[in-house]
Structure formats: C-alpha cells, structure tokens
C-alpha cells in the first residue's frame, strides 16, 4: 500500500472502532449507522483510495470542487452526498452527480432540485437540514430551516417530482442554547425526526455527528455520521 493508503486505512479503522463502540454503548447494532466520509478539500486520488478501502458514501460541500472530483471518480461505486449551503444557480451542476442532497432548507431550493431531477430523469434523495440555532421562520447561520419550518418543507419535497424525502440532517450549533451541547442538539433532532416519520415513515435518515461528536450522534439515534478530519486529516483553513 502507498503511504497515504496506509494512513487512510489506519484512520478509517479508528473511526470504525469509535462508531462500533458508540453503537455498543447505545445498545444499537453496528449496521444501523452508516459512515459518510466528507472528502472536501482532499483530492480525487484520496476518494479513489477510500473506495478501494471499502468506503461507499462520500460527501462534499462546494459544487466548484465537487463537480470535477465526482467526474474523475465516476467509475467508482460511490454514493455522493452534497452537504453544503447550496445556491439555486448551482443546482443543475449538483444534480448531475449528487445522489442525496442533505442541505435542503427552503422551498426555492426544492423547486430547483425538482426541475433538475426531472430534466435529468434522475431521482434525488433529499434531507431537510434543520437549524437548531434558528429562530422561528429564519434560517440558521450555517444553513438549515428552523424546527417549525420542517413540516411545510417536507410536504413540498413529497409533492415535488423527481425528489425522494429521505429524512433530516443537522450540524451541531456553534452558538445559541445548544452551543457546546451536541448530545442535546442531536436529541432534539431525533425528536423532530420521530414527528416527521409519523407522517412519512420512509423519511428515516438522521444525518448528524462529525469527527468531534459522532459518539453523541450515535447515542441520540443518528443513522448517518459525516466524518472528514478523523479520516483524512486536518483540512487547510478555507480561503
């Protein structure tokens, strides 16, 4: 193995151990939690190595970077998640490679994604991003719709051609009442998810938890954790 592959394999093994331990601690089966590796800022060559090491889900947060990377990796058996704040003018591009868009937080985006999905005759999975730091009717500082906006947005996804409502996503807030309390934030997301599932049982994905708080997310019932740094290393600061 190359040095980089050896390094990624060791990091993946460590993350796998953390997820398995968190599942055991929570009395959950390991298969209930899917690892999504967030590959932003890292090259397509790393994505290729990850695929060789058995990773099946990857995520990106900027279309400018993700588009070319996904094209380079089009031969790999990967499921691509888009997890960044998304402008409607990027939707057409994102819809050409994303299997799941996790960061849907407004009706205009639902409409644009639906148009793109219909145009490409490709069904896209959608997660509604919940901002636990947003006041009523507002969007969060890192994207997302406030908890009281989830139901209406879910209805618009259900009604949208070409889209499939898969569930909810959140990022632990850096400010507000949940600052420094990821477990409480993820418990709140789980509550919102159980309300959503009462109306839409298939929308059972709960995407929560990153490198620093994946244990809290698994304890709170997350079905998908999004891990970047712990697998690929510390990212250079964003420009």
57 binds ligand PLP per the rule CB under 6 A: no
Other C-beta atoms closer than 10 Å to the C-beta of 108 total 12
| 201 and 224 Cβ atoms separated by less than 8 Å | no
Quick one: which segment of 2-10, 24-32, 72-80, 207-215 binds ligand PLP (CB under 6 A)?
A: 207-215
- The single residue among 12, 23, 38, 217 that binds ligand PLP, judged by CB under 6 A, is 38
- 239 token code pair: 């420009």
19 binds ligand PLP per the rule CB under 6 A: no
* For ligand PLP, the closer CB: 194 or 212: 212
Secondary element (H or E) of residue 182: helix 182-199
* For ligand PLP, the closer CB: 17 or 119: 17
Residues 135-194 binding ligand PLP (CB under 6 A) are 171
110 binds ligand PLP per the rule CB under 6 A: no
| 146 and 139 Cβ atoms separated by less than 8 Å | yes
227 binds ligand PLP per the rule CB under 6 A: yes
- Return the sign of the alpha-carbon dihedral for residues 210, 64, 156, 108: positive
Shortest CB 199 distance to ligand PLP, Å? 25
Secondary element (H or E) of residue 15: helix 3-26
* For ligand PLP, the closer CB: 65 or 155: 65
Nearest to 126 by CA among 92, 149, 160: 160
Quick one: which segment of 18-26, 90-98, 117-125, 224-232 binds ligand PLP (CB under 6 A)?
A: 224-232
Shortest CB 211 distance to ligand PLP, Å? 3
Give every CB contact of residue 103 below 8 A, 6+ residues apart in sequence. 82, 83, 84, 85, 86, 127, 129, 143, 144, 169
Binding site for ligand PLP (CB under 6 A): 38, 40, 61, 83, 171, 210-212, 226-230
């Amino acid at each position: 193995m190359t040095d980089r592959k050896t390094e990624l394999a060791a990091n993946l093994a460590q993350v796998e151990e953390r997820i398995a331990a968190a599942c055991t601690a929570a009395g959950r089966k390991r298969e209930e939690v899917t690892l999504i590796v967030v590959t932003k800022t890292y090259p397509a060559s790393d994505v290729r190595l990850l695929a060789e090491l058995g990773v099946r889900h990857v995520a990106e947060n900027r279309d400018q970077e993700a588009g070319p990377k996904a094209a380079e990796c089009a031969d790999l058996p990967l499921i691509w998640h888009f997890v960044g704040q998304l402008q409607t003018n990027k939707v057409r591009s994102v819809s050409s490679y994303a299997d799941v868009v996790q960061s849907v937080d407004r009706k205009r985006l639902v409409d644009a994604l639906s148009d793109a999905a219909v145009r490409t005759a490709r069904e896209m999975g959608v997660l509604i991003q919940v901002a636990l730091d947003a006041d009523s009717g507002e969007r969060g500082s890192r994207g997302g719709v406030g908890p009281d906006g989830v139901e209406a947005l879910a209805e618009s996804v259900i009604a949208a051609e070409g889209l499939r409502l898969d569930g909810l996503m959140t990022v632990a807030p850096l400010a507000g009442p949940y600052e420094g309390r990821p477990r409480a934030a993820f418990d709140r997301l789980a509550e919102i998810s159980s309300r959503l599932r009462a109306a839409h049982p298939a929308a059972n994905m709960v995407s929560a938890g990153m490198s620093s708080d994946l244990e809290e997310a698994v304890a709170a019932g997350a079905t998908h954790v999004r891990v970047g740094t712990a697998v690929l290393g510390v990212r250079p600061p964003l420009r």
